[in-house]
Amino acid sequence: MDTKALLETGGKHLMAFTKRAPIALVRGEGMRVWDSDGKEYLDFTGGIAVTALGHSHPRVVGTIREQATTLMHVSNLFHIPQQTHLAKLLCDHSFADRVFFSNSGAEANEAAIKLARKWAKEHGASDRGDIITMRGGFHGRTLATVTATAQEKYHHGFEPLPGGFKYVPFNDLRSVERAIDSHTAGIMVEPIQGEGGVNIPDDGYLPGLRKLCDEAGVCLIFDEIQTGMGRTGRLWGYEHSGVAPDVMTVAKALANGVPIGATLATDEVASAFAPGTHGSTFGGNPFATAVGLTVLTTLIEERLPERADRMGRLLVAELEKVRARRGAAVKAVRGRGCLVGMDLVPPVADVLGACRDRGLLVLTAGDNTLRLAPSLVLDEKDVARAVSIIDEALGTVAG
């Protein structure tokens, strides 16, 4: 089936849940992917911040081959060595004591919401169930996590939505302080808002949330689904703030493309889950956790968070030069590690299309932000090539 026929058949038989680019990707290696016509692209989407190690990383491919021919799934009715080893490695390199594995970021956030509410009811008052989230955040597509996502465009048509969520402006401690009351069970926040526009909070924001949670006796939940696994230049985004959460969610890059989610917590909060209170059939199976173990080990051994920090600083510096050249077409450039946003004046969809035509794949975020989330294995040549294409695309679109 050629590309034209593939797109037409997909248009007839796939549910229309997203606006797809008019290309079909069939192969990947490192920072590059190829479409069904053989055209090469430099991938600065990272599969939406998933392929931290790049495409077809040899260690990941080796683990997939070995585990697929050994044991893929047994369910959580039995002990799973790979799951245990990955949980220990995650705890050894974070604030957490315990881990619950699921299949996606949304499921990880669902578990975090349930955990915070159950802990609050057991250690506070029985009517504590509200979760405070930040406007512009993104926490998933299930009914509870889409409700936690304080963006009305994601709610439209799905009403009635589950209760128990309150929204406040991002990076505004006073609003959080006013929103906390006797019904509050937890606060959920991304250390950097990714989908919302690559919004980086002030230095005192996350420490301020930590203080408010401690004073109110409620859980602080960090959604690190996009910022975790080295993307911001540290293994976890919260490490930039100097404070740790009670609960953290991880997914996307954890297995470099193999579906997996994880909810990490302190011993105290994790104690709210007992056998039978939560569960997953597929979550943490031998296949997904074996790959996750390889990915996390590789990130640590090859010091890829430090590489992300260096390449991210270079990328922002080079994009600032583009901003200086293109004048009013670029309003701002910001980022941390390999998560960078560029606020544009011309329609971001037009710039994205112009980049794709020139062999660069990028993302959008927020109202009109170009989002770059490349794999952490990129080098200086990749940065130079991407910036050159973005500059040229802006010149074409903005004139």
Active-site entry in 165, 252, 309, 391: 252
- Specify whether 121 is catalytic: no
The model's pLDDT over 147-190, given as tens digits with 9 standing for 90+, comes to 999 999 999 999 999 999 999 999 999 999 999 999 999 999 99
- pTM (2 decimals)? 0.97
Predicted confidence (pLDDT) at residue 124 exceeds the cutoff of 90: no
pLDDT at 313: 98
Confidence tier at 2 by pLDDT (50, 70, 90): confident
Q: Cα–Cα distance between 150 and 165 in angstroms, integer?
A: 9
Task: Give the chain's radius of gyration (CA, Å).
Answer: 21
Task: Enter the tokens of residue 361.
Answer: 């794949």
Confidence tier at 266 by pLDDT (50, 70, 90): very high
pLDDT at 29: 98
Predicted confidence (pLDDT) at residue 399 exceeds the cutoff of 80: no
Confidence tier at 398 by pLDDT (50, 70, 90): confident
Active-site entry in 43, 130, 223, 391: 223
pLDDT at 17: 87
Predicted confidence (pLDDT) at residue 64 exceeds the cutoff of 90: yes
- Specify whether 252 is catalytic: yes
Ramachandran region of residue 136, left (φ > 0), alpha (ψ -120 to 50) or beta?
left
The model's pLDDT over 283-306, given as tens digits with 9 standing for 90+, comes to 999 999 999 999 999 999 999 999
- Specify whether 223 is catalytic: yes
Active-site entry in 44, 100, 101, 138: 138
Predicted confidence (pLDDT) at residue 379 exceeds the cutoff of 90: yes
Predicted confidence (pLDDT) at residue 126 exceeds the cutoff of 90: no
Output the CA torsion sign for 378, 383, 389, 390: positive
| 113 within 8 A of 144, measured Cβ to Cβ | yes
157: helix, strand or coil: coil
Torsion of CA 118, 119, 125, 128, to 10 degrees: -60
pLDDT at 32: 98
